[in-house]
Amino acid sequence: AHKYNNLQSITMFKLLIALVVLIAVTAFVPSKVQVRSSSLSMTSEKPSAKKVFSTIVIASALFGGMPAFAKEGAAPKQGFFSNSDASSPFTEESREDPLFSPYSPYGNGEAAVYNSLKGSPSEIKFYSEKFDESVKRVAKVPGYVQKKTWFEIKAGLVGYAYNLRNAALKLAEFSKDPTAATKAAKVYFDDLNDINEYGIKKDGAKVLAAYDKSLKDLAAFKALVK
């Protein structure tokens, strides 16, 4: 029975080869005979690109087997002309469920890499540097008032110093008393908003008053996030 199956497979393989060769040959057979005056001339059509492409597709379908489907967890590979399966490119990714990536808007983020870094010394250092640099930019406000370069006040607060809000809230989150630190941060934000508003109105006295108040509120916030 085993020999019979092998013989049958060989016969089928030969028939398939013959079929492919026949299709390929027909793409190059002359299809028109034109007779003009007393002279007989034969003109062959150029091989149709569609026919040649069709031949390739049929051959790949015959010898390539069934379509390849991805397998979850398999190593990345492609199998266009073989029976090997294509697979997911996310084999190294730890998913929280079979469908959604931890970075998908539909996932809950439990498997995100960030979770292992949250609140770590490296993250606290990152936000501390952003906060300190933002405070340095705010410290330029009195100089802008003296020069009456009002546009510089707004540009400074909505430029790099705009990172100050997020950085301060993150530092408050990692502090010993997040509630008190967050409350103190929001008081400082109000001071910065006043500085910006009075700067737009070109009221130097009020800008400086709001700036002086901001220094006291900043010190209170820093005391809570040490």
Among 99-103, 149-153, 178-182, name the one with the lowest average pLDDT.
99-103
pLDDT in tens, 29-75: 555 444 444 444 444 455 565 665 666 655 555 544 444 445 555 54
Q: Is 34 helix (H, G, I), strand (E, B) or coil?
A: strand
Highest-scoring range by mean pLDDT, 8-22, 32-46, 81-95, 119-133 = 119-133
pLDDT the model gives residue 13: 62
Residues making up the chain, counted from first to last: 226
Contact (Cβ atoms closer than 8 angstroms) between residue 134 and residue 160 = yes
pLDDT the model gives residue 56: 60
Contact (Cβ atoms closer than 8 angstroms) between residue 68 and residue 86 = yes
Is residue 188 pLDDT above 90, yes or no? yes
Over the Cα atoms of the chain, what is R_g?
37
Q: Which residue has the tokens 């530092």?
A: 171
Q: Decide: pTM greater than 0.85.
A: no
Is residue 8 pLDDT above 60, yes or no? no
Q: Over the chain, what is the mean pLDDT?
A: 74
Q: What are phi and psi of 32, to 5 degrees?
A: -135, 145
Contacts for 141 with CB less than 8 Å, ≥ 6 apart: 153, 156, 195, 199, 207, 211
Contact (Cβ atoms closer than 8 angstroms) between residue 110 and residue 96 = yes
Integer Cα distance of 226 and 222 in angstroms: 6
